[in-house]
Chains A and B, each alone.
Chain A
Amino acid sequence: MNNLLILPLIIPLLTGIILILFREQIKVQKWLSAIAMILTIGVSIQLVQTVSLKGIQTLRLGGWEPPFGIILVADMFAALLVATASIVGLCCILFAFRSIGIERERFYFYPFMLFLITGVSGSFLTGDIFNLFVCFEVMLISSYVLIVLGGTKEQLRESLKYVLINIVSSIFFVISVAYLYAVTGTLNMADLSLIVSEIMTQATSGQQGLVLIIALLFLFVFSLKAGLFLYFWLPGSYSAPPTAIAAIFGGLLTKVGVYAIFRTFSLIFYQQPEITHQLIAWLAGMTMIIGVLGAVAHWDVRKILAYNVVAAVGFIMFGFAIFTTVAIEGAIFYLIHDMIVKALLFLLGGAMIAIAGTSNLKEMGGLIKNHPGLGWMFFIAALALAGVPPLSGFIGKLLIIQGGLDAGFYWLTGISLLSSLLILYSVIKIFMNGFWREQKLRREEEKASFKGLALPCALLILLSIALGLGAEWVYGDYISEAAHTLMNPSIYIDAVSPVKE
């Protein structure tokens, strides 16, 4: 029992509710939301430390013994993701201070950002499958509002599709929960894990097939949220909203789907890896191919970055599907790296678009003359994304590829290496066309300045460099423990179930 667990949810939620009262006082909104996010980062780092020292932390809401009440569980994986998500959230909010504009700020922009972060943290920390659904909805409804806030034609058109897709996937989530409840009679994840493995070991019960179908339904639901192969809604939706919103979407939203797949398929449905994990592996392979094809084909900065999100989801899921300790460690490292770097790239790309006044690369050029800081930050971020050694993307990729080769996934490992190359090509294409070549705009013709936007980008890039340079420390103390817990569900179950007397 540890009340620390609820703080990453409570702080943004309460602040968001209070901010509804201060609609016209933009200064108050900015200060309060920044302070709330800094506090959230503080408590989530504290949570990571506590989990690292004392093992998995649980909080039984209402004091009921599991499996009867709702329980919050923070293992190392969830705690690390909460910390990363709150840092990314702070940087996006800081970026919004100078870029989002008074009109959106007056219509509850900051409260919805905070509600979004509440939903994301809640999804990471919950230990109950229906509560996961509710946290998903908290996150999604905030994202519906954020994607359409401002009401431009493009936003309206894309949000119609985004809302429809997510309503359908939420309905399928409810259906999957219904089937799972009918077979097992419980909603608590640890309890589900026990009952499902009991069903799978009884040869006579004849319910193995049913459990497999339910597992595939969950895979369908979470793939739709994560953009794993079912990515078709993603490029359009992520190109429509303003930069700060697109960055928090690119950094956090798909990653929650990825987390849900990690959690359900390592804790609940881990008994038939020859079917489920093979399927995830091939879906991941196709996702990587589709993602890089889209990233290479487009000449629009936002589209390129959106397809990069798809490719990275494929890569992370490939690491998960290998399902060896090494590959899971790689996937967790890459997931954390990718949350930071994707948000960073969206922010930098958004700054480029704001300055140039267009998102078409063919109409940009020579931005480095007036904005060397932006240019070199983008360059470092591009190299980090592709996985060049001193930066943060390298270790994760190395571990996943090592795990893939050890487990005999030669084709998929080849695809993932090739996709790294093409991802590097796609972001360097932005760099070379946007920052090099002859200058298209004189300083006075530029539509915006990079001043004031640099701070959040610099924070994220320093974090990315630190994650790369301090990889041994992060890996040894935190990532390996997270992977150890994921690979051994009994640790999680023991932490959740009531203490035997």
Chain B
Amino acid sequence: MEIIMSLVVGVLFTVGVYLILTKSLLRIILGTAILSHGAHLLLLTMAGLKTGNPPLLPDDLSGGNVGAYTDPLPQALILTAIVISFGVTAFFFVLAYRAYKELGTDDMDQLRGNDDE
């Protein structure tokens, strides 16, 4: 299972990098979103995809029936990383919108600028 997930992550990274290297700003932002999906999946995969119960304790602990659990730590890390990347992506979209309105282009080649301004 880990190998399949690694391949999926690899594909996501390839697509993300390809999109980031294109000219259009919108495609670049989509690229960063796909890259962050890849990173989050990688975090989940690298912690191990063993089958186990969801990380919730049963109500009845008296019988000692606490089975094997999946690792809860990477899930917390991913949640943190998701909200951070969500905030940044929202900011980036609005920034791109403002830049498009002010500068009149979304072509990164034309956003180079020069020293004379």
- When the two chains form the complex, which single residue of A141, A144, A178 contacts B42, counting CB atoms closer than 8 Å? A178
Closest beta carbon of chain B to A482's beta carbon, Å: 30
**Given A156-B102, A174-B39, A236-B113: A179 and B81 within 8 A (CB)?**
no
**Given A156-B99, A300-B115: A174 and B40 within 8 A (CB)?**
yes
Q: Residue B117 at the A interface, CB < 8 A? A: yes
Stretch at the interface among B50-58, B59-67, B85-93: B85-93
Q: Residue B28 at the A interface, CB < 8 A? A: yes
- When the two chains form the complex, which single residue of A134, A144, A158, A171 contacts B36, counting CB atoms closer than 8 Å? A171
Is the beta-carbon distance between B39 and A171 smaller than 8 angstroms?
yes
Residues of chain A within 8 A (CB-CB) of B88 are: 137, 141, 144, 163, 167, 170
Is the beta-carbon distance between A179 and B46 smaller than 8 angstroms?
yes
Nearest B residue (CB) for A148: B95
User: Among A148, A156, A159, which residue has the most Cβ atoms of chain B within 10 A?
Assistant: A156
Is the beta-carbon distance between A156 and B39 smaller than 8 angstroms?
no
Q: Residue A130 at the B interface, CB < 8 A? A: yes
Nearest A residue (CB) for B35: A171
- Chain B contacts with A in 64-104, Cβ cutoff 8 A: 73-74, 77, 80-81, 84-85, 87-88, 91-92, 95-96, 98-99, 102-103
**Given A157-B99, A164-B28, A236-B113: A181 and B47 within 8 A (CB)?**
yes
Is the beta-carbon distance between B91 and A141 smaller than 8 angstroms?
yes
Closest beta carbon of chain B to A180's beta carbon, Å: 9
**Given A171-B36, A174-B43: A163 and B91 within 8 A (CB)?**
yes
Q: A-B contact count, CB below 8 Å?
A: 98
Is the beta-carbon distance between B46 and A154 smaller than 8 angstroms?
no
**Given A156-B95, A175-B42: A167 and B32 within 8 A (CB)?**
yes
Q: Residue B111 at the A interface, CB < 8 A? A: yes
Is the beta-carbon distance between A177 and B77 smaller than 8 angstroms?
yes
Is the beta-carbon distance between A174 and B81 smaller than 8 angstroms?
yes
Render B11-25 as a binary contact track against A, CB cut-off 8 A, 1 for contact.
Answer: 000000000100001
- When the two chains form the complex, which single residue of B39, B46, B80, B81 contacts A182, counting CB atoms closer than 8 Å? B46
Nearest A residue (CB) for B81: A174
Is the beta-carbon distance between A175 and B92 smaller than 8 angstroms?
no
Q: Residue A373 at the B interface, CB < 8 A? A: no
Is the beta-carbon distance between B98 and A151 smaller than 8 angstroms?
yes
Closest beta carbon of chain A to B72's beta carbon, Å: 12
- When the two chains form the complex, which single residue of B40, B46, B115 contacts A181, counting CB atoms closer than 8 Å? B46
Q: In the complex, A209 Cα to B87 Cα: how many Å? A: 35
**Given A141-B91, A154-B117, A157-B113: A178 and B103 within 8 A (CB)?**
no
Is the beta-carbon distance between A171 and B32 smaller than 8 angstroms?
yes
Is the beta-carbon distance between B84 and A137 smaller than 8 angstroms?
yes
Q: In the complex, A181 Cα to B48 Cα: how many Å? A: 10
Residues of chain A within 8 A (CB-CB) of B20 are: 164, 168
Q: In the complex, A474 Cα to B43 Cα: how many Å? A: 43
Nearest A residue (CB) for B92: A163
Residues of chain B within 8 A (CB-CB) of A141 are: 87-88, 91
Closest beta carbon of chain B to A128's beta carbon, Å: 11
Q: In the complex, A158 Cα to B92 Cα: how many Å? A: 13
- When the two chains form the complex, which single residue of A154, A167, A177, A187 contacts B92, counting CB atoms closer than 8 Å? A167
Residues of chain A within 8 A (CB-CB) of B42 are: 174-175, 178
Q: In the complex, A181 Cα to B45 Cα: how many Å? A: 11
Q: Residue A442 at the B interface, CB < 8 A? A: no
Residues of chain B within 8 A (CB-CB) of A154 are: 113, 117
- When the two chains form the complex, which single residue of B36, B40, B80, B98 contacts A156, counting CB atoms closer than 8 Å? B98
Is the beta-carbon distance between A181 and B91 smaller than 8 angstroms?
no
Q: In the complex, A157 Cα to B74 Cα: how many Å? A: 36
Render A484-499 as a binary contact track against B, CB cut-off 8 A, 1 for contact.
Answer: 0000000000000000
Nearest A residue (CB) for B78: A174
Is the beta-carbon distance between B91 and A182 smaller than 8 angstroms?
no
Q: Residue A160 at the B interface, CB < 8 A? A: yes
Is the beta-carbon distance between B80 and A159 smaller than 8 angstroms?
no
Render A127-170 as a binary contact track against B, CB cut-off 8 A, 1 for contact.
Answer: 00010011001000100110010010110111111011001101
Q: Can you list 26 pairs linking A and B with CB atoms under 8 Å apart?
A: A145-B91, A153-B102, A154-B113, A156-B95, A156-B102, A156-B103, A157-B99, A157-B103, A160-B25, A160-B95, A160-B111, A163-B88, A167-B35, A168-B32, A171-B32, A174-B36, A174-B42, A174-B43, A175-B42, A175-B43, A177-B43, A177-B77, A178-B45, A178-B47, A181-B43, A182-B48
Instruction: Contacts A156-B103, A170-B88 known; list 18 others, CB within 8 Å.
Output: A133-B81, A137-B88, A141-B88, A151-B98, A153-B103, A154-B113, A156-B102, A157-B113, A164-B28, A167-B35, A167-B85, A168-B32, A171-B35, A171-B39, A174-B43, A175-B42, A181-B47, A182-B48
A residues near B (Cβ < 8 Å) are 130, 133-134, 137, 141, 144-145, 148, 151, 153-154, 156-161, 163-164, 167-168, 170-171, 174-175, 177-179, 181-182, 187, 236, 298, 300, 303
The 7 closest A-B pairs by CB, nearest first: A182-B46, A178-B43, A178-B46, A174-B39, A156-B99, A171-B39, A167-B32
